[in-house]
A and B are shown apart, each in its own frame.
Chain A
Amino acid sequence: MSFVKFENVDLAYAPGGALAIENVSLEVREGEFVAVVGPSGCGKSTLMKLISGLRMPSGGYVYVDGRQVGGPLKIVGMAFQNANLLPWRTTLDNVMLPLEIVEPYRSTLKKARSRYEAEARQLLARVGLAGFEDKYPWELSGGMQQRASICRALIHQPRLLMLDEPFGALDAFTREELWCMLRDLWQLQPFTVILVTHDLREAVFLADTVYVMSKRPGRILVRREIELPRPRDLDVTYTDAFAGHVHELREHIGRVRAT
């Protein structure tokens, strides 16, 4: 049984206007790590809005956890290219933000604050931010801000994590560090991930399944399963099998861009 399911989904931002995505069908298992790659403006981010219920499809159906999506889901965590941390809150308070909104945390926050705070500190420590809990976002580097942003997306233990080019603005070394961080978090306590990215190596390294999308209107062109053994180490990125996957995906993207 699939956890996320798209059935022939279309979306036009304006009624009757140009389609942002067209006839998209896909299925995601619970706990699966999915990456979506494609040229810029192909509607990858639109996909995220549909899954999280921020947008309703113009045609077709979106199901999450067996139910048709009819509004914002509360089992979702999101992180974007910009960390979007609130500058007036400390790192810890930024991470705790979802707990102030999502039930059942919201109504129990006052009583169980110290317990939740301990959980947040533990999560921050797990991504290497121990000692930075009480710093403000501008005192953190870009990579650290992004780690905190991912903690914020995970603190309420969402069953679905959606990442929209979360590592796009980071330098290559930091990016690889954060791949490993995300891999470890996911390996420790699997949740379903949908990662939108430009970076094919990132997609192949992290994902179980990679989807390639076409130019606008976005359609799914290829579905490729990455059967590299887990847990994957950064060394895997230098193997022939890995390079083969990246090459093949690169060819698809090249073909899309040429048309």
Chain B
Amino acid sequence: MRPNLVKAAPWLVVLAMFLLWELVCAGFDIPEFLLPAPSAVWKVGVLQFEPIMMHATQTFLTTLAGFAIAVVVGLLIGMAVGSSPLLYRAMYPLLVGFNSIPKVAFVPVLVVWFGIGTVPAILTAFLISFFPVVVNVATGLATLEPELEDVLRSLGASRLDILGKVGLPRAMPYFFASLKVAITLAFVGSVIAETVASNLGIGYLMMSASSSMNMPLVFAGLIVIGVMGVVMYELFALVEKRMTGWAHRNPNGAT
């Protein structure tokens, strides 16, 4: 009984939210151009299924491209920063400062450089999502136990040996945890850029729908983004579990 409840709980919560939403819309007679009821959103979703899927695919691929760059760049910077105390000190303020800039403010710059379209969206997704990867990989490497390092160094291990045998495997749980965060941020990045400067993607679809007061379509777009985010998050949570099971062991001994 209990395990089933735990499994069903997230679905029940989502269902309850939609129900409440529907009831509020019907009960207070809220006009559709302010807050469309889920049923209205569903209707639009079915009617406009093909254009929505087309834009969603665009957003999805854009996000994945930005995310892929973020993983590679984040891993490289994280490895550099995490394995050298000097680089750590030197680079961290710059990285934090850069991360503090709202990326929406950076989109116009990207548009000037690369024009309107997919490239700024990919880059925004990359810029917004690489930071957690850097921080996590760097933390994983920098918190290596000094005794363990001594054991290896006394054997004559090079820095590369230590990184490969201990540092990176040890940083993997941090790395995979950061992927979950990064993929959802990447969606935020690509949608922001599409809203400001694109004529493709869910962001653009929502922008144009809201300018013609087609609120059900706007909400359909929001829900599609949310669903994509959850699916990708769960996917990477699964990958994390598969790759780093040793770090998520049950303290009672059973794995």
A contacts, CB < 8 Å to B: 49, 52-54, 72-74, 76-80, 82, 84, 86-88, 97-98, 100-102, 136, 138-139, 152-153, 156, 162, 164
Contact = CB atoms under 8 A, between A and B. Distances in A.
Contacts of A72: 153-156
Interface of B: 145, 147-148, 150-157, 161, 165-166, 169-170, 172, 244, 246-247, 249, 253
Contact of A84 (B148, B172, B244, B253): B148
Contacts of A54: 150, 153-154
B147 A84 contact: yes
Given A49-B150, A72-B154, A101-B161, 12 more contacts: A76-B154, A80-B147, A80-B150, A84-B147, A84-B148, A86-B166, A87-B246, A88-B247, A101-B156, A101-B157, A136-B246, A164-B147
Nearest to A156: B155
Contacts of A138: 246, 249, 253
Nearest to B251: A138
A84 B144 CA distance: 11
Contacts of B152: 101
A99 to B, nearest CB: 10
Given A78-B150, A87-B246, A139-B253, A98 B155 contact: yes
Given A86-B166, A136-B246, A138-B249, A102 B153 contact: no
A87 B155 CA distance: 20
A86 B155 contact: no
Contacts of A102: 155-156
Nearest to B161: A101
Contacts of A88: 169-170, 172, 244, 246-247
Nearest to B253: A139
Contacts, number: 65
A139 B154 CA distance: 27
Contact of A74 (B156, B170, B249): B156
Main secondary structure on B side of the interface with A = helix
Contacts of B157: 101
Contacts of B151: 78-80, 84, 152-153
Nearest to B152: A101
A53 B157 CA distance: 13
Contacts of A86: 148, 166, 169-170
A86 B168 CA distance: 12
Contacts of A162: 154
A72 B149 CA distance: 12
A248 to B, nearest CB: 32
Contact of B165 (A76, A84, A100): A100
A41 to B, nearest CB: 16
B165 A101 contact: yes
B174 to A, nearest CB: 13
26 contacts: A52-B150, A52-B154, A53-B154, A54-B150, A72-B156, A73-B154, A76-B154, A77-B154, A78-B150, A78-B154, A79-B151, A80-B147, A80-B150, A82-B147, A84-B145, A84-B147, A86-B166, A87-B247, A97-B165, A100-B165, A101-B152, A101-B155, A101-B156, A136-B246, A138-B246, A162-B154
A53 B155 CA distance: 10
Contacts of A139: 253
Contacts of A52: 150, 154
Contacts of A87: 246-247
Contacts of A82: 145, 147
Nearest to B249: A138
A55 B170 CA distance: 25
A138 B152 CA distance: 21
A79 B147 CA distance: 9
Nearest 5 CB-CB pairings of A with B: A52-B154, A74-B156, A80-B147, A88-B246, A84-B148
A139 B245 CA distance: 14
Contacts of B247: 87-88
A86 B249 CA distance: 14
A76 B150 CA distance: 11
Contacts of B170: 86, 88
Nearest to B254: A139
Contacts of B153: 54, 72
Contacts of B155: 72, 74, 76, 98, 101-102, 156
A259 to B, nearest CB: 30
Contacts of A77: 154
Nearest to A98: B155
A19 B171 CA distance: 35
